[in-house]
């Protein structure tokens, strides 16, 4: 299952989750999101944000193994898009992280995503941290169910500090020759066997679930022009024989629909909470946030489009400026209104969003 990538690399997002046994009754869940922009730059309120590491954020949970109740929650955000400055009136992307503290004591179950969105969705939180937390809490229940079944089958226990489950997700964005965006998603769930008494490294292999998704997205327009997906499940005895299963029929109804907005709703409507399609659902949910990250890497297009619009005497707030070489209005290519805390209505960036002292802006 080779992904049919043809374009120039724009952006890579990685999402990881590791579950570690702390003791007989508790497990640690640590998730990390990294965003690596590979080209271009973005004008920000404080200056220029060049290519490089844009986001690095983590969520660290301690869970009761039986009830799956959150006993502790810690966050860390060493790399963020918007640091505090005069332009943000001292605000930054880290500010809403404390809202997550209200989830301590909650149970990670079928109702948890709704609670998470109520506390941290949209203008109440950070969209990148929210994406990470959603991916984590989607994987944790199934991973712990499999862990309980595996230990019961083996009649074994794990050592303190032993890692039992890994989820790794990768979204890569590319710019195709015709200007469309290619999005490639790879999602891997790996469950290991208890390490006590094992003869060799591969004896740790219990099960790996893999999902690959490729989408081609029109630009402009953001419509899904094509979409393919495939999955493979391997166990210790099928490492050489397991084959990829084509899921084109499952994802075909999404072709021809907008990537933004509304893709998440269509994905949940089609796949719901079905455990058999959980990995496919979680992979597809990475497309829209991945597209937003990839779009930030093609700012160069703006200058060409603005110059062409000015030459024609056309344009709007994003393109018609006194001089296209001045660059876009502050925040004009930033987040959608109320997409996160920093882009909330009434926030400091909202007032700066289209500020430009020109009566030609349209």
What band does 348 get if pLDDT is binned at 50, 70 and 90?
A: confident
| The pLDDT value given to residue 24 | 87
| The pLDDT value given to residue 59 | 98
In this predicted structure, the answer to whether residue 71 has a pLDDT above a threshold of 80 is yes
The DSSP line for 68-91 is -BEEEEEEEEEE-S----GGGTT-
Which residues lie below 8 Å from residue 270, measured CB to CB, with a gap of 6+? 253, 254
Output phi, psi for 140, to 5 deg. Answer: -60, -50
Contacts 24+ apart (CB under 8 A), 71-79: 71/26, 71/104, 72/104, 73/100, 73/101, 73/103, 73/104, 75/100, 75/129, 77/126, 77/129, 79/53, 79/54, 79/55
What the block records as the tokens of 362 is 């349209």
Please give the residue that has the higher pLDDT: either 325 or 189.
189
Per-residue model confidence as pLDDT tens digits over 227-270 = 999 999 999 999 999 999 999 999 999 999 999 889 999 999 99
In this predicted structure, the answer to whether residue 330 has a pLDDT above a threshold of 90 is no
Determine the length of the chain.
Answer: 362
What band does 354 get if pLDDT is binned at 50, 70 and 90?
A: very low
The DSSP line for 223-278 is BEEEEEEEEEEEEGGGTTT---EE-HHHHGGGTTSBSTTTHHHHHHHHHTT-GGGH
> Average per-residue pLDDT in the chain?
88
Which residues lie below 8 Å from residue 83, measured CB to CB, with a gap of 6+? 46, 92, 93
Find, among 35, 36, 52, 290, the residue nearest to 182 by Cα: 290
What band does 296 get if pLDDT is binned at 50, 70 and 90?
A: confident
- Angstrom distance (rounded) from CA 58 to CA 94: 12
In this predicted structure, the answer to whether residue 309 has a pLDDT above a threshold of 80 is no
The DSSP line for 171-235 is EEEEE-TTS-EEEEEEEEEEEEPP-TT-SSGGGGEEEEEEEEEEEEE-TTT-BEEEEEEEEEEEE
Provide the 8-state DSSP code for 361. Answer: -
- 106-115, 283-292, 335-344: the lowest-pLDDT one: 335-344
Per-residue model confidence as pLDDT tens digits over 193-210 = 998 777 788 989 999 999
| The pLDDT value given to residue 14 | 98
| The pLDDT value given to residue 94 | 96
In this predicted structure, the answer to whether residue 47 has a pLDDT above a threshold of 80 is no
Give the rounded distance of the alpha carbon of 21 from its chain centre. 25
- Angstrom distance (rounded) from CA 53 to CA 80: 9
Rounded to 10 deg, the angle between the 112-120 and 127-154 helix axes is: 160
| The pLDDT value given to residue 320 | 46
- 148-157, 290-299, 316-325: the lowest-pLDDT one: 316-325
What band does 327 get if pLDDT is binned at 50, 70 and 90?
A: low
C-beta separation of 315 from 302 below 8 A: no
What is the value of pTM for the model shown?
0.90
Q: Percent of the chain at pLDDT above 70? A: 89
Per-residue model confidence as pLDDT tens digits over 143-154 = 999 999 999 999
């Amino acid at each position: 299952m080779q992904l049919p990538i043809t374009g120039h690399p724009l952006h890579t997002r990685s999402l990881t989750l590791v579950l570690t046994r702390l003791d007989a009754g508790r497990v640690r869940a640590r998730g990390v999101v990294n965003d690596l922009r590979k080209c271009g730059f973005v004008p920000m309120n404080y200056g220029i944000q060049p290519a490089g590491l844009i986001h690095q954020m983590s969520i660290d949970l301690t869970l009761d193994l039986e009830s799956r109740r959150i006993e502790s929650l810690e966050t860390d955000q060493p790399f963020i898009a918007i640091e505090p400055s005069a332009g943000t009136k001292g605000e930054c992307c880290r500010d809403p992280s404390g809202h997550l503290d209200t989830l301590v004591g909650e149970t990670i179950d079928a109702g948890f995503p709704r609670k998470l969105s109520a506390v941290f969705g949209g203008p109440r939180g950070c969209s990148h941290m929210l994406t990470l937390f959603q991916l984590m809490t989607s994987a944790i229940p199934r991973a712990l169910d499999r862990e309980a079944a595996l230990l019961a089958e083996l009649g074994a226990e794990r050592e303190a500090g032993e890692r039992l489950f890994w989820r790794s997700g990768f979204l890569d964005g590319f710019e195709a020759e015709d200007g469309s965006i290619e999005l490639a998603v790879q999602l891997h769930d790996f469950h290991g066997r208890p390490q006590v008494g094992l003869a060799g490294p591969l004896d740790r292999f219990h099960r790996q679930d893999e999902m690959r998704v490729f989408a081609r997205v029109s630009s402009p327009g953001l419509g899904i022009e094509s979409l393919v997906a495939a999955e493979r499940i391997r166990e210790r005895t099928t490492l050489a024989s397991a084959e990829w299963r084509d899921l084109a029929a499952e994802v075909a109804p999404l072709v021809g629909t907008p990537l933004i907005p509304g893709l998440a709703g269509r994905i949940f409507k089609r796949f719901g909470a079905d455990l058999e399609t959980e990995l496919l659902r979680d992979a597809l949910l990475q497309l829209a946030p991945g597209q937003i990250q990839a779009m930030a890497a093609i700012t160069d297009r703006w200058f060409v489009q603005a110059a062409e619009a000015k030459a024609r005497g056309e344009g709007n707030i994003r393109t018609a400026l006194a001089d296209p070489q001045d660059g876009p209005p502050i925040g004009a290519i930033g987040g959608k209104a109320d997409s996160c805390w920093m882009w909330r209505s009434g926030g400091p960036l909202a007032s700066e969003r289209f500020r430009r002292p020109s009566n030609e802006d349209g």
